[in-house]
Chains A and B, each alone.
Chain A
């Protein structure tokens, strides 16, 4: 019997909702990656920063978000991300899916005494 790796299971859960959260952050306002990282870290959703970049690139390649270059006061120009129409549509669906999941999971786990 293979022992289940607890940290890994949690990490998997986090990864699953990360896309939804990134889309949600970008939908609120135009942000650049370091802003997104800050918000994700505040919410304790992300542990290592490197996780964001492949995800962001994939969202962009899928046409869910887009970016524009902007000059910054310090350092090189930054990529500011904003959500596209299809991204907004997906975000709506993902949120619905999340709500459903919360309801479904709590239906089962709420009855278990901790």
Chain B
């Protein structure tokens, strides 16, 4: 059983599976990205949409609902956006096969033109113990098993509590990997439709694995409740992911979509981000998320850090005083000054 969505593609109504819709909208997004700066942007993208609608109509025959396979076939006919832009084969870049120096950053770059990924540091909230800091760091530094970092943090916690402070600081400053694109950037994988689909599938898999593992244990009632909670959480996350797409690309009117892009671009250039290598590597999806990072939860975490920071500083000062033999209260001060015969 699957949910379906109704779409308007090139002026034709279609009914489409949700996963097929996801794939199709990401493909359209890649096309828009490819031609955004071309002359005749709207005309080209509209013509492509019309053609795709025509191909879908031909392919569907009597069938009613477009599925993922249909989308793959039609996309195969249309081709990757990077293949069909006329300017897309500058000699220096693709005429020769480039030597593969960094497979992580150059990656497959399969559909989009500008979708290059550098690795980014995120918290991996899907394989987390506390907040996913360790698993995120492991992914970033290419450590296979986050358990080693967790062990290091655990030692840091036991020996003096410094690990707690460090962990909370990292928790606050490292953003959580919210979308599939984030998660791919976290692992340094190329962001394209296949890898996104893979990531989502994996997410569902590890999730059900987790569930099965825990469910095997005897006390089913307890886990049942937890399962429902998790399920709701997962659904909520999924909806968020979809809303983000729909908010930015779901409107069927190309004009407004373009305006949206313009705002995004203007936004970027006004902050002087355009030249920075850091954001050059970020797909727009990520950029849309970055400005929203400052929310109440974050503020709360900052407050928490400030509190723990003060607490640990006070403790450190006390320890320092004790260690250096500096008196900590007035009686001790008097005793000390008497012993040293200080004249106040």
Q: Using a CB–CB distance below 8 Å, which chain A residues touch chain B? A: 2-5, 8-9, 11-12, 15, 33-34, 37, 47-58, 60-61, 74-76, 79
Contact = CB atoms under 8 A, between A and B. Distances in A.
5 contacts: A2-B98, A34-B54, A48-B78, A54-B38, A57-B40
A112 B120 CA distance: 52
B106 to A, nearest CB: 15
**Interface of B: prevailing SS:** helix
B12 interface: yes
Nearest to A41: B77
Interface stretch (B16-24, B83-91, B228-236): B83-91
Contacts of A57: 38-40, 43-44, 47
A5 B227 CA distance: 52
Contacts of B89: 8, 11-12, 15
Given A4-B96, A15-B89, A49 B44 contact: no
B97 A3 contact: yes
B323 interface: no
A58 B261 CA distance: 22
A33 B38 CA distance: 19
A2 B54 contact: no
B84 A54 contact: yes
B80 to A, nearest CB: 7
A51 B47 contact: no
Contact of A50 (B11, B53, B83, B97): B83
Contacts of A76: 10-12, 50
Nearest to A2: B96
A79 B78 CA distance: 19
A54 B77 contact: no
A22 to B, nearest CB: 12
B296 interface: no
A48 B50 contact: no
Interface size class of B (residues with CB under 8 A): 20 to 34
B164 interface: no
Contact of B86 (A3, A47, A55): A55
Contacts of B47: 33, 53, 56-57, 79
Contact of B95 (A8, A54, A58): A8
A50 B84 contact: yes
B48 A50 contact: yes
Contact of B81 (A5, A15, A50, A75): A50
B309 interface: no
**Interface of A: prevailing SS:** helix
Given A49-B78, A50-B78, A57-B44, A2 B86 contact: no
A9 B97 CA distance: 11
Nearest to B42: A57
B79 A58 contact: no
A105 B84 CA distance: 27
A4 B31 CA distance: 28
Contacts of B95: 5, 8-9, 12
Contacts of A61: 39-40
Given A2-B96, A57-B44, A51 B79 contact: yes
Contacts of A56: 47
Q: Of A3, A50, A51, A74, which is in contact with the most chain B CB atoms at under 10 Å from its CB?
A: A50
A47 B79 contact: yes
B54 A48 contact: no
Given A49-B51, A57-B39, 17 more contacts: A4-B97, A5-B94, A5-B95, A8-B96, A12-B89, A15-B86, A33-B51, A47-B79, A48-B78, A48-B79, A48-B80, A49-B84, A50-B84, A54-B85, A56-B47, A57-B40, A58-B86
